[in-house]
Amino acid sequence: MKTSISKPVVVCVIMLNSFSDAEVKPLLGFNSKGTSNELALERRLGVAQPKRMNEYHRIMTAKPHHAGTEANINAGNYYAKKLKEFGFDEVHTPRYDVLLPRPVERKVTLLFPEQYELKLVEPPYKEDQDLYKDGVLPPYHAYAADGDVTGEVVFVNYGLPEDYKVLDSLSISVRGKIVLAKYGRSWRGIKPKVASEHGAIGCLIYSDPKDDGFVRGDVMPKGKWRPEWGVQRGSVMDMPTYPGDPLTPFRAAKGNVERLPLDKAPTLQKIPVLPISYGDALPILRNIGGPIAPDSWKGGLAITYHIGPGPAKIHIKLKSDWSLRTIMNVIGILRGSEEPEKIVMVGSHRDAWTFGGRDPISGATVLLETGRVLGNLAEKGYRPKRSIAITSWDGEEYGLIGSVEYGEEFAETLKGNVVVYLNRESYTAGNFSAGGVHSLQPFINQLTKDIDMPGSEGTVYDSWKENSNESSLIKYNSYENVRLVALGSGSDYTVFLDHLGIPSINLGFGSGNGIYHSRYDTHWFFTQYGDPGFVYGIALTELVAKFLLRMANSNVYPFDYSSTAETIHQYIDEVEKEGEDRNMAKHLDFSSLRKSTDMLHATSIVLNNQIELLLSNPEANRVLIKKVNRYLLLAEENFTDNGGLPGRPWFRHQIYAPGFYTGYGVKTLPGVREAIEKGDTREAQKMMVILEQSLQRVQKTLLNAVVVSSGQ
């Protein structure tokens, strides 16, 4: 196929640039008539009903329901039943047998200079009767190594690589010691990983009251902050290597699949790790000597924070049951009327560490109510053009397991048919935020202008813009856009974006609290402090429903890769500056990357203008639009490389990935950036070539879309 841009195309671009803006801006992917029809359809959407949302929430939080339990399977069956009741045409419940360790023995004792047996429990309080129910697993860290260790304690602040540089400057070693780290600043699994790499034999992680306890405000039950004995559970799987079932990387964990032996699974931690409360951390901290901690390390407890090592000495004994257990996803499909094979998907997870009032059932509640209003619309004859899928993932808390196993099992089908994946996890009343692929940036900005912000006279967009830094605001077609945050990992979009190259977005409302992953994350908490009356849940339901409808009904997929190219230019500036700061500039030439990004940007602008021409008469241009959409569906996938990132081939996307030492936090242009951070010139040069090739693949894909759009 000829791929050069024809003269008629160039003329069309010039003509389009001379047009003045229409008085009413059409929705992205629609023309003016299509916009009017779509907005009329959206006005037929029923309003979300807080009474129903409260019912869903109460039922799904009635019992503790961590992954691999009957209670969580039952919650999944309830979810499936509701989607069928709402008129979804198909509901699938794929199951997987995955490694889900459970605590058998947990014991931590302060031996010297005083003796203290850590409580390692979260007591109930009378205001919340759910706290007296059985079935809550005690605080523990999934995938921590079994062990029986004794050693002096070293306080390591947040346990990040930069904290160990401070320790090195003080000639303090953690080799043969047990480290005590604060929660925060990174995903928890990074802390034991880094500690082990530095020779530590054990790790305790506590929530300091300065971060989410009494320093922030009244604690539970009088307020929403973490009480003295509250503990943050969680997985410490080494997810930056690969998420999903630790024993079956790249393969779905079902049937007779080949599994790694436990001692060969690279994502399992090498040392025992336990989470503790600040009530249990206090006796240890006050018995640590050595240098006084830097001011930036000090927390909110009424003690002088010292680093150690010792004289505090502790004993940790930890043992788990390393069994395979069954998890179950739920996927409901509302079939499209014109392109049923193409799917717009939204998902949240269902499994919780305890009751899951905020995390994750707040999100599951929104998706069920979204399913109800969309089902009602379909029942009245208003079916979307493309199919809509609403999903409930299992095993997310352990390491994104349900979504990853599903993505690995159906990889080729998903890559060819899922238009976009929207992740809609937990939320609380608070500010709006959104992260995702930057080709969706104009679409999200436009969408949020049509949603009223709870408790405000303005829109969600107005609030989003007001709470954003000046540097996050950019001009787009004479409009001001809020820049999307880049996605790293930490939720179920990871397999779709980082592994499969499917455009993904994660958005919602949120504010700080101290109940995360604790026993106190209940229905009572959420209806008292999370979102009383489900006011923000109503707004989220409307936002998600309109997102799905516009994506499913648009004539042309509303992706804009000029926004992607503009963002990549910014990332190149950042990594080039990083190279200069590390005296690597003379070995790294970014000119080819900039040229390829310029070509991507130019081609994207031409394609945007061609799309406007096609949308002037979508019925007449139906065949051409279908061809353009086919290429748009391939574009994001072309940012992936089959070889993946250095040392972690599961992560294939060359623009976005979680950092190897950040976990959830993103590293943009990850192959190049992390090589520069390591000071590895040869690896940086290699990854620059791979990045440039991915940019060229995307540019050629969009150029093909330009060519077919002109009928060639």
Task: For residue 220, give Cα distances in angstroms to 126, 329, 525, 606.
Answer: 11, 33, 9, 56
Q: How sure is the predictor about 69, in pLDDT bands with cuts at 50, 70 and 90?
A: very high
Per-residue model confidence as pLDDT tens digits over 456-484: 999 999 999 999 988 889 887 778 899 99
Residue 159 placed within a domain: yes
Q: Is 518 in the same domain as 607? A: no
Q: What's the predicted TM-score (pTM) here?
A: 0.94
User: What's the pLDDT score for residue 585?
Assistant: 85
Per-residue model confidence as pLDDT tens digits over 540-598: 999 999 999 999 999 999 999 999 999 999 999 999 999 999 999 889 999 999 999 99
User: What's the pLDDT score for residue 478?
Assistant: 74
Is the pLDDT assigned to residue 409 strictly greater than 90? yes
User: What's the pLDDT score for residue 476?
Assistant: 77
Return all residues near 682 (Cβ < 8 A) that are at least 6 apart: none
Is the pLDDT assigned to residue 712 strictly greater than 80? no
Instruction: Map residue 618 onto helix, strand or coil.
Output: coil
Per-residue model confidence as pLDDT tens digits over 307-363: 999 999 999 999 999 999 999 999 999 999 999 999 999 999 999 999 999 999 999
Instruction: Please tell me the distance from the alpha carbon of residue 368 to that of residue 87, in angstroms, as a whole number.
Output: 12
Q: Is 214 in the same domain as 132? A: yes
Residue 382 placed within a domain: yes
User: What's the pLDDT score for residue 4?
Assistant: 38
Q: Is 540 in the same domain as 568? A: no
User: What's the pLDDT score for residue 288?
Assistant: 98
Q: Is 95 in the same domain as 106? A: no
Per-residue tokens: 2? 């000829």
Per-residue model confidence as pLDDT tens digits over 75-120: 999 999 999 999 999 999 999 999 999 999 999 999 999 999 999 9
Q: Is 419 in the same domain as 339? A: yes
Question: Which CATH number characterizes residue 173's domain?
Answer: 3.50.30.30
User: What's the pLDDT score for residue 587?
Assistant: 92
Residue 462 placed within a domain: yes
Q: Is 318 in the same domain as 350? A: no
Q: Is 564 in the same domain as 688? A: yes
Residue 270 placed within a domain: yes
Is the pLDDT assigned to residue 2 strictly greater than 80? no
- Which residue segment(s) compose the domain that 520 sits in? 40-99+335-553
Per-residue model confidence as pLDDT tens digits over 170-219: 999 999 999 999 999 999 999 999 999 999 999 999 999 999 999 999 99
Return all residues near 342 (Cβ < 8 A) that are at least 6 apart: 336, 386, 387, 417, 419, 633
Per-residue model confidence as pLDDT tens digits over 236-253: 999 999 999 999 999 999
Per-residue tokens: 628? 């353009």
Instruction: Please tell me the distance from the alpha carbon of residue 695 to that of residue 711, in angstroms, as a whole number.
Output: 25
Is the pLDDT assigned to residue 664 strictly greater than 90? no
Strands (E), 589-701: none
Compute the average pLDDT of residues 535-542. 98
Residue 252 placed within a domain: yes
Residue 387 placed within a domain: yes
Residue tagged 């930036």 (tokens): 296
Is the pLDDT assigned to residue 43 strictly greater than 60? yes
Residue 2 placed within a domain: no
Compute the average pLDDT of residues 642-648. 96
Per-residue tokens: 186? 């990174």
Instruction: Please tell me the distance from the alpha carbon of residue 558 to that of residue 35, in angstroms, as a whole number.
Output: 13
Is the pLDDT assigned to residue 73 strictly greater than 50? yes
Question: Which CATH number characterizes residue 545's domain?
Answer: 3.40.630.10
Q: Is 15 in the same domain as 62? A: no
Domain count, the chain: 3
Q: Which of 322, 351, 385 is the last residue of a domain?
A: 322
**Which helix (H) or strand (E) segment is 507 a member of?**
strand 504-510
pLDDT: which is higher, 498 or 17: 498
The single-letter DSSP state of residue 658 is B
Q: How sure is the predictor about 24, in pLDDT bands with cuts at 50, 70 and 90?
A: low
Average pLDDT, the chain: 95
Compute the average pLDDT of residues 485-496. 96
Q: Which of 322, 350, 369 is the last residue of a domain?
A: 322
Is the pLDDT assigned to residue 633 strictly greater than 50? yes
Per-residue model confidence as pLDDT tens digits over 275-312: 999 999 999 999 999 999 999 999 999 999 999 999 99
Question: Which CATH number characterizes residue 561's domain?
Answer: 1.20.930.40
Is the pLDDT assigned to residue 22 strictly greater than 60? no
Q: Which of 257, 287, 322 is the last residue of a domain?
A: 322
Q: Is 481 in the same domain as 501? A: yes
User: What's the pLDDT score for residue 192?
Assistant: 98
Percent of the chain exceeding pLDDT 70 equals: 97
8 A C-beta contact, residue 157 and residue 295: no
Q: Is 194 in the same domain as 129? A: yes
Q: Is 236 in the same domain as 150? A: yes
